[in-house]
């Protein structure tokens, strides 16, 4: 399983235990959060230490969407617009909005590349829904599939041009969800045709070069009783077979309450459903998974 894992780290330096895990069962990658970040030099050193332990060009991911989803406390990361601001700009001048998103993503991507990162968990391809939980809110570009697809594509191309892979999220869509999947199991009761229509930004970006898609910890109750991350219907049938996506399918963080209390069980279920990239972000969850691996 370790070759599918992207793991969170405890602090700003590797612990002795993390060094053992990285050397004996190298993960596919690591993901950094604010707890792991102090200075540019420290981040570079931390990622270099990870790769020294694994002996591989291990992936390094982060969530730098802009707006309130920001982990790195210096420019250009900590002064970026919310996605919704670009959506409002698009209504006034579509070309200017696409250019602004591209330039922002290119600048961000270059800065991430310089620190040693390989992947940014962006763009957010969810639609804005007034009645949806605020966990998405202004992270969504707009309530229109056309605008979300256009600006999401501009973000993706900016990142790719900087040498950073983008990760589109949260498939098939988190905007309607009635809860925050970090702390609860959200549900959406929309019918299948509506959900297919609202997942169009994912289809558009897959055609436009998106190689990484992150699933939603959401139950779409009119379609399936399972959380999408753990559902072969959503992961394999829809994303692989219907949408012809042949890149990497990332689970959202398997430490989140949206997939239950047992990280190891969630990891196995996500893998069985068809996710091939498993995010385990919290140190306690990483310890639980590695206790099983070693």
List, by residue number, the catalytic residues.
Answer: 182, 252
Helices (H), the chain: 16-24, 40-54, 83-92, 94-115, 145-161, 192-198, 200-207, 232, 263-273, 283-293
Q: How many residues does the chain have?
A: 294
Query: Does a cis peptide bond (omega within 30 degrees of 0) precede residue 27?
Result: no
Distance from first CA to last CA of the chain, Å, rounded? 11
74 with 111: CB under 8 angstroms?
Answer: no
- Contact between 97 and 153 under an 8 Å Cβ cutoff? The reply is no
DSSP 112-170: HHHHT--EE---B-PPP-TTS-TTTGGGSS-S-HHHHHHHHHHHHHHHHHTT-EE-EEE
Closest by Cα among 291, 289, 294 to 4: 289
């Amino acid at each position: 399983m370790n070759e599918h894992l992207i793991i969170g780290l405890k602090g700003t330096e590797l612990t002795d235990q993390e060094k053992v895990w990285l050397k004996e069962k190298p993960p596919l990658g690591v993901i950094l959060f604010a707890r792991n970040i102090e200075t540019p030099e420290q981040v570079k050193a931390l990622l270099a230490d990870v790769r020294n332990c694994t002996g591989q060009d291990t992936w390094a991911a982060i969530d730098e969407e802009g707006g309130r989803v920001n982990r790195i406390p210096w420019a250009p990361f900590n002064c970026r617009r919310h996605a919704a601001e670009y959506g409002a700009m698009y209504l006034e001048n579509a070309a200017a909005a696409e250019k602004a998103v591209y330039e922002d993503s290119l600048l961000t991507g270059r800065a991430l590349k310089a620190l040693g990162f390989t992947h940014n968990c962006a763009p957010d391809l969810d639609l804005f829904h007034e009645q949806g939980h605020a966990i998405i809110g202004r992270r969504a570009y707009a309530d229109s599939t056309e605008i979300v697809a256009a600006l999401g594509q501009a973000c993706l191309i900016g990142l790719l041009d900087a040498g950073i892979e983008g990760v589109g999220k949260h498939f098939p869509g988190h905007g309607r969800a009635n809860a925050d999947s970090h702390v609860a199991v959200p549900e959406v009761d929309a019918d299948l045709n509506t959900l297919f229509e609202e997942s169009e930004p994912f289809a558009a970006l897959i055609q436009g070069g998106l190689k990484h898609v992150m699933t939603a910890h959401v139950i779409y109750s009119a379609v399936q009783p399972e959380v999408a991350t753990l559902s072969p219907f959503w992961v394999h049938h829809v994303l692989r077979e219907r949408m012809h996506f042949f890149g990497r399918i990332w689970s959202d963080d398997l430490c989140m309450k949206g997939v239950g209390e047992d990280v190891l069980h969630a990891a196995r279920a996500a893998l069985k459903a068809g996710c091939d990239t498993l995010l385990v972000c919290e140190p306690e969850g990483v310890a639980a998974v590695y206790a099983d691996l070693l």
